[in-house]
Chains A and B, each alone.
Chain A
């Protein structure tokens, strides 16, 4: 994107999600008005009645694809977007609602709704990248506002965004936290999880639960082996990998290798 040519047009789209990642954008309190001035926000229904049309220079997509309608809609958005950025665990990995992918989703609907035939939903919850090519992803449940600001600044100035790709352990060590896995055999997902949150759970003495999803070279099955050695039961092991990024392939692999 060439700087200074024009203010890039931005759209913020929602699929199945909790709205938390979009809210993270509004949570950039100190920088919000500056960002809103540097780009041309054409579509952001959570914040504005101005419902503009594409094409968009940048489309931020929150949420996973769970309905036929949404499967079509993501194709339309991709066609209108120069750069498409998946925003948060639902968009990058299918989110917590991807737990249906291992179950009979019809039965799930019957559990929740009195009249299941009123409900139209796909059998699976899948990340955006299973439907259309994406350009960038911001990890996390929810995303970090510093990462959002970084990607916006990078795109505005025409450089590559610098986003974390190492394991959470790197961030945790830098903070000087005591290692929960080594020192107290807590089932910490940190070694398999992508950095970016600031290691907030270990800083509170709580094992990482993997809300940023697996990092690129994560060996989740090896971590599962370690948990097993520390006495974790097979169902608990499966649950540990099946949360907000359950459908990310590394976590999926670890959870499917569990003997049940």
Chain B
């Protein structure tokens, strides 16, 4: 399959002379709403702001006084795209505070539930939100006219993730089975068996996806990022691990807040995270792959090699290929987990509520998701902190645009706008999460 001509080339853009303003009032194909304002003078960027007008919902405030167990379902409502990520980080943090040990089969089942979310979320982003940029379409519906089999494959992959989610969690969005200590209900082996056939198809379809997106035209752009992700000695990280970075950070999750700082900037209802010593950093598929690619199972590793992915991958536009490799990983890992599944003796470990603080970080489809809860002796939340992946990437996205836009400033404003959007979508930003985002405005000054 040949990719179409680069996006917008066909559109008639007004050539600019002197200064201009690029504005994307509503950045489409992202989760939530954001806007980008770029002010240009000649060939120089005067100002660049990623605005997050998404209304604040104040989760950390109303979590105070709630039962710690409720955080699992309440924080899921921060994001309808990655509710499992919130449920997992919340459950793990509270389990850590209360010293609850998790049965290995419960752990395996949680990993399967997380894989289901990765499959659904990655399939959605690759085909519906990002691929149209590379192929020059406004959306996947338009793309379906020429790429019908590919869009149908996307829908079938999405449905696969959602089916696993429904079997384990009762429904696709805000599933209801996960709880502090384990699960409310666990499936039987027979419940999971019918998923195997479709997962085998899914693994092949994910590899096809990687080969397809690897043929897309990628801008020649790369940066020296500091990649941050969970790192686990034995497995590609999902639910647990140490926090590692490409510049040598190696931390227990407890130490997260000593090294990472949230800043409040005027133009954003989402906080910006920075590394205390070094500024912006990069979380998500590229970071995970670069730090953990040796842990990928055989098929996912093979397709990564076939696509020429060698760590460190530093071109953010190639994140779509890495995401497809992770899609293959999630299918392959699901097959392994179902193959080895025995229902746990007890779906939920018994526990005692007590005063304490617990933290956890897990890998949401978009990157590291940190939760901290301080709980009183009766089990009520005294305070909490939630650091979603998009908040961690926001500063990074702005920094990417500062680096990338100068390469394309001789293009018509319409094309700059679309390219800027595409660069933002490299991060699959989820603004609903980040405010717990996108409009683009490029302005040329006279």
B326 → chain A closest CB, angstroms: 19
- Pairwise interchain contact A20-B271, C-beta atoms closer than 8 A: no
Identify B61's interface contact among A49, A108, A204, CB under 8 A: A108
Identify A47's interface contact among B29, B54, B61, B171, CB under 8 A: B29
The interface-forming segment of B76-84, B89-97, B338-346 is: B76-84
A180 → chain B closest CB, angstroms: 11
Query: Which chain B residues lie closer than 8 Å to A184 at the CB level?
Result: none
Interface size on B, residues (CB 8 A): 69
Q: A32 vs B70: C-alpha distance in the bound complex, in angstroms?
A: 34
Q: A51 vs B418: C-alpha distance in the bound complex, in angstroms?
A: 13
Query: Which chain A residues lie closer than 8 Å to B79 at the CB level?
Result: 18-20
Query: Which chain B residues lie closer than 8 Å to A27 at the CB level?
Result: 158, 162, 172-173
- Pairwise interchain contact B73-A209, C-beta atoms closer than 8 A: yes
Identify A112's interface contact among B58, B124, B418, CB under 8 A: B58
- Pairwise interchain contact B77-A200, C-beta atoms closer than 8 A: no
B-contacting residues of A (Cβ < 8 Å)? Answer: 14-24, 26-27, 29-30, 32-33, 36, 41, 44-51, 66-67, 69-70, 95-97, 99-100, 103, 105, 107-109, 111-115, 118-119, 121, 125, 141-142, 197-198, 200-201, 203-206, 209, 211, 236, 239, 243-244
Q: Is B31 an interface residue (CB 8 A)?
A: yes
Q: Is B128 an interface residue (CB 8 A)?
A: yes
- Pairwise interchain contact B139-A47, C-beta atoms closer than 8 A: yes
Closest B residue by C-beta to A89? B77
Q: Is B354 an interface residue (CB 8 A)?
A: no
A-contacting residues of B (Cβ < 8 Å)? Answer: 25-33, 53-62, 64, 66-67, 70, 73-74, 77-81, 83, 124, 128-129, 132, 138-142, 144, 151-152, 155-156, 158-159, 162, 170-174, 176-177, 184-185, 262-266, 269, 271, 418, 421, 430, 432, 436
Query: Which chain A residues lie closer than 8 Å to B78 at the CB level?
Result: 18
Query: Which chain B residues lie closer than 8 Å to A18 at the CB level?
Result: 77-80, 83, 432
B61 → chain A closest CB, angstroms: 4
With A66-B57, A121-B55: A48-B29 Cβ-Cβ less than 8 Å: yes
Q: A24 vs B172: C-alpha distance in the bound complex, in angstroms?
A: 8
B352 → chain A closest CB, angstroms: 18
Q: A118 vs B33: C-alpha distance in the bound complex, in angstroms?
A: 18
With A23-B81, A239-B70: A201-B31 Cβ-Cβ less than 8 Å: no
Query: Which chain A residues lie closer than 8 Å to B31 at the CB level?
Result: 19, 23, 46
With A18-B77, A45-B28, A96-B62: A23-B173 Cβ-Cβ less than 8 Å: yes
Query: Which chain A residues lie closer than 8 Å to B128 at the CB level?
Result: 26, 47
B358 → chain A closest CB, angstroms: 19
Query: Which chain A residues lie closer than 8 Å to B61 at the CB level?
Result: 100, 103, 107-109, 111-112
- Pairwise interchain contact B77-A141, C-beta atoms closer than 8 A: yes
Q: List 20 A-B contacts (CB under 8 A).
A: A23-B31, A24-B80, A27-B158, A29-B156, A36-B141, A41-B141, A47-B28, A47-B128, A50-B28, A67-B55, A96-B59, A105-B58, A111-B58, A112-B60, A114-B263, A114-B264, A121-B55, A125-B57, A204-B176, A209-B73
A151 → chain B closest CB, angstroms: 18
Query: Which chain B residues lie closer than 8 Å to A17 at the CB level?
Result: 80, 432
Closest A residue by C-beta to B121? A23
Q: A23 vs B170: C-alpha distance in the bound complex, in angstroms?
A: 17
A124 → chain B closest CB, angstroms: 12
Q: A234 vs B176: C-alpha distance in the bound complex, in angstroms?
A: 25
- Pairwise interchain contact A70-B55, C-beta atoms closer than 8 A: yes
- Pairwise interchain contact B56-A121, C-beta atoms closer than 8 A: yes
Q: A204 vs B191: C-alpha distance in the bound complex, in angstroms?
A: 14
- Pairwise interchain contact A141-B60, C-beta atoms closer than 8 A: no
- Pairwise interchain contact A51-B185, C-beta atoms closer than 8 A: no
Which 5 A/B pairs are nearest by Cβ-Cβ distance? Answer: A20-B80, A48-B139, A204-B185, A200-B170, A108-B61
Residue in B61, B73, B81 whose Cβ sees the most chain A Cβ within 10 Å = B61
Identify A109's interface contact among B58, B83, B436, CB under 8 A: B58
Closest B residue by C-beta to A14? B33
